[in-house]
Amino acid sequence: MSLPFNISIPTSFFFLLLNTFLCSSSLQGQWIHDWAAINVDGGEAFQFIDSTTVRAQRTNNGFTIFKRVLVNKSSIQNNSLQKGSVLLDSKGIQIGKTLDDLIFTDSFTPTTRRLAKKYVSILIKGDVNSSSFIRNSWPDKALVRLLKQKRVGAFWPTLQEYLKKFNFVHYKKSSLPEEISDAGLNVYVLPYRDYLNKENQGFRMIIFTRGTSAIQCVLVSNIDSKKEKLDFPKIKLFEEKPYGSLYHFGKPNKNQSEGYEIMAYDLMPF
């Protein structure tokens, strides 16, 4: 299936994303193929450019995908997005197009003044099969593979590539809970971007590292931790909490445990 518009993506960049360090089959994240049939009520409803990120939720017949998009205010009539409407990402860049009218439940005004004048943000969803996703685009399982693979050279450059690939946010030490900063930990957060139709959507994963030497803990949101338990190697302790699942690579002391909890609740989309 081809899109009614052209976007040039360098071939070298595409293969770099696929082969940097994750070269086996796989599960935010999830990047979807441009040829994927995205259906609503059994009919093809919209399409995206190749490698568009979506949130995927498993169903009995495949997956339901969710995407927060910007659309022109003029393309909406009675909570229905008209067929042929252009779909934009949060920066106002075209990423797809509707193939049929779409019903949505709420709209949100972008915080960027330039975009707020012309566009509204909505959350759209559709059904796809498992082959619609690009391999190795599930960040949790990709991290498991990364930690299991036999490495040549230093660990940190490889982890940096992973963090960059999945758009983790490095939290400033001045913004961290005292329990985390006092422990000398660095924090990298993967926020949800297509879970809710709002700016703060909570976290999907949080990675705590001991400087640039090793991972101390991985926290997976309770939204995603309801899936199967991740098979991380060399785990010292596993804990299930109301806010998510904690995979400890080093046993935490009381202050660290309190810091993990504070960090999780600070990032909740209240």
Q: What does the pLDDT look like over 14-63, one tens digit per residue?
A: 333 333 333 332 334 588 999 999 999 999 999 999 999 999 988 888 99
**Beta 102-103 vs 80-81: how paired, if at all?**
antiparallel
Average pLDDT over residues 70-94: 94
Average pLDDT over residues 68-80: 93
Average pLDDT over residues 215-227: 82
Q: What are the tens digits of pLDDT across the range 251-270?
A: 999 999 999 999 999 998 76
CA separation for the pair 218, 243 (Å, rounded): 13
The model's confidence at residue 65, banded by pLDDT at 50, 70 and 90, is very high
Query: Which pLDDT does position 269 carry in this prediction?
Result: 77
pLDDT at 13 over 60: no
Q: What are the tens digits of pLDDT across the range 101-117?
A: 999 878 889 888 889 99
Q: What are the tens digits of pLDDT across the range 229-253?
A: 899 999 999 999 999 999 999 999 9
The residue ranges of every structural domain in the chain are 11-132, 139-266
Residue whose entry in the numeric block shows the structure tokens 């998009």: 69
Mean pLDDT of the chain: 86
Query: Which pLDDT does position 197 carry in this prediction?
Result: 83
* Residue length of the chain: 270
Phi/psi for 129 (5° steps) reads -95, 170
Average pLDDT over residues 91-105: 93
